[in-house]
Amino acid sequence: MAKVTVAELTRRKAQGQRIAMLTAYDYPMAKLVDDAGTDIVLVGDSLGMVVLGYESTTPVTMDEMLHHAKAARRGVTRALLVGDMPFLSIRGSTVDAVRNAARFVQEAGCDAVKLEWRQGIEDTAKAITDAGIPVMGHVGLTPQTAAAEGGLGMRGKDAETALRIIGQAVALAEVGCFAIVVECVPDEVAQEITERLRIPTIGIGSGPHCDGQVLVLHDLLGLYERFTPKFVKRYASLAPAIRDALSGYLRDVRSGAYPGEAHTRRMAPEELSRLRAELGPAR
């Protein structure tokens, strides 16, 4: 299958073809996600919670993001690989933000970066796109700043805030973003954004009218049990299966059942005889 490009995603929007996006944070999972035919693989700062065990995405650093993006790159050959710019990476000067975006491309091999909406982010997004780096925007619920905005939950529930979010999406499109993630807004708001933009919208918790959908892989697979967002559909419950496998291993080791004959390799008899002759009797 051909490599997914920004141009291909734009074409799919125009032709009404749905786009599937998933997160991945390491080589084996990224390879599985890519092999399955996923269109976009996001190395999300959600790794702070589902991989690193932080309480939120805010503490995630550039070094942590790049470490995981490099691993994911080794597993992704077809999908568009997007690196999520962490909280502090876009809080300094525009020059610093462009430099950090470039690190995702140059050091980790990402095809694009994603940044969350905040006041004035349009200038940053434009500077990054002007530097030749494709940018995916993110409006609605923005997890990096959620604590300062009343916590996690639906955004755009009233006309005033809905208009603000729609305006943010339009502004990001106007400065050159190639796609917009729309998180946790009412279906009607997501539909308005999707119909007003020529670039694809990727929904998460925002209903069926976006051009595509994204989920955190650990939520989809049932690996992250601290909490599950209401909008998540679990396609597997791997955490209990992993616990069962680990319990079986511990039981077999403690009982002596593992390793058994099938898992044991032995020396040729003549070599064993030579070894014992050289060693002599054990004390």
The two tokens of residue 188 are 């009607």
Nearest CA to 207 among 280, 140, 265? 140
Residues annotated catalytic, as ranges: 183
pLDDT of residue 258: 96
pLDDT of residue 147: 67
Q: What are the residue ranges spanned by the domains of the chain? A: 6-236, 241-279
CATH number of this structure's domain 6-236? 3.20.20.60
The structure tokens 């125009």 sit at: 14
Mean pLDDT per 10-residue section of the chain, whose length is 283 residues: 94 97 98 98 96 94 97 98 94 93 98 94 96 97 78 86 97 98 97 97 97 97 90 95 98 96 95 93 81
Q: Length of the chain, please?
A: 283
pTM value is: 0.93
CB-based burial of residue 181 (10 Å sphere; 0-12 exposed, 13-18 middle, 19+ buried)? buried
